[in-house]
Amino acid sequence: MSDNRPTMIDTDVHNSMTGKQDLLPYLPKAYHQAWLAYGAGYGGSYLGTGAHSVTRRDARPDGGGPPASDPNYVIRHHLAPYGIDYAILTGSGILGISLVSDPDYGNVIARAYNDWLADTWLKASPRYKGSILINHSDPQAAVQEIERMGPHPDMVQVIMCSGSRNLFGQRMFHPIYEAAERHGLPVAIHPGTEGRGNAGPPTPSGHPTRYFEWHNIIPINYMSHVNSLVCEGVFEKFPELKFVAIEGGFAWLPHLMWRMDKNYKGLRDQVPWLKCKPSEYIRGHILLTTQPIEEPDDPAHLGQILDMIGGDHMIMYSSDYPHWDFDNPKVALRSIRRELRQRIFADNAIQLYGLSEKPGEGASV
Q: Confirm or reject binding of residue 239 to other proteins (CB under 8 A).
A: no
Q: How far is the CB of 239 from other proteins (least distance, A)?
A: 11
How far apart CA 160 and CA 98 sit, in angstroms, is: 8
- Count of residues interacting with other proteins (CB under 8 A): 16
* Identified binder of other proteins from the candidate list 232, 247, 320, 327, rule CB under 8 A: 232
Stretch of residues binding other proteins (CB under 8 A), selected from 99-107, 132-140, 270-278, 356-364: 270-278
- How far apart are alpha carbons 165 and 232 in whole angstroms? 16
Buried b (16+ CB within 10 A) or exposed e, 98-118: bbbeeeebbbbbbbbbbbbbb
Among 62, 269, 297, 361, the residue binding other proteins under the rule CB under 8 A is: 269
- If phi over 0 gives left and psi between -120 and 50 gives alpha, with beta otherwise, what is residue 133? beta
From the CA atom positions of the chain, what is the Rg in Å? 20
When asked if residue 259 is in the footprint of other proteins (CB under 8 A), the reply is no
Q: How many whole angstroms separate alpha carbon 90 and alpha carbon 92?
A: 7
Secondary structure (DSSP) of 207-246? --SSHHHHHHTHHHHHHHHHHHHHHTTHHHHSTT--EEET
Nearest approach in angstroms of CB 256 to other proteins is 17
Which of 120, 42, 46, 127 is CA-nearest to residue 79?
127
**277 lines the binding site for other proteins (CB under 8 A):** yes
Q: Which is nearer to other proteins, 264 or 353 (CB)?
A: 264
Under rule CB under 8 A, residue 264 binds other proteins? yes
Helix, strand, coil proportions of the chain in percent (round to 5)?
A: 40, 10, 45
Q: Does 151 bind other proteins (CB under 8 A)?
A: no
Contact between 270 and other proteins by CB under 8 A: the answer reads yes
Q: Does 361 bind other proteins (CB under 8 A)?
A: no
Query: Which residue number, 151 or 272, has a Cβ lying nearer to other proteins?
Result: 272
Taking CB under 8 A as the rule, does residue 76 contact other proteins?
no
- Does residue 163 touch other proteins according to CB under 8 A? no
Minimum CB separation of residue 241 from other proteins in Å reads: 13
Q: Which residues bind other proteins (CB under 8 A)?
A: 171, 232-233, 236-237, 264-270, 272-273, 275, 277
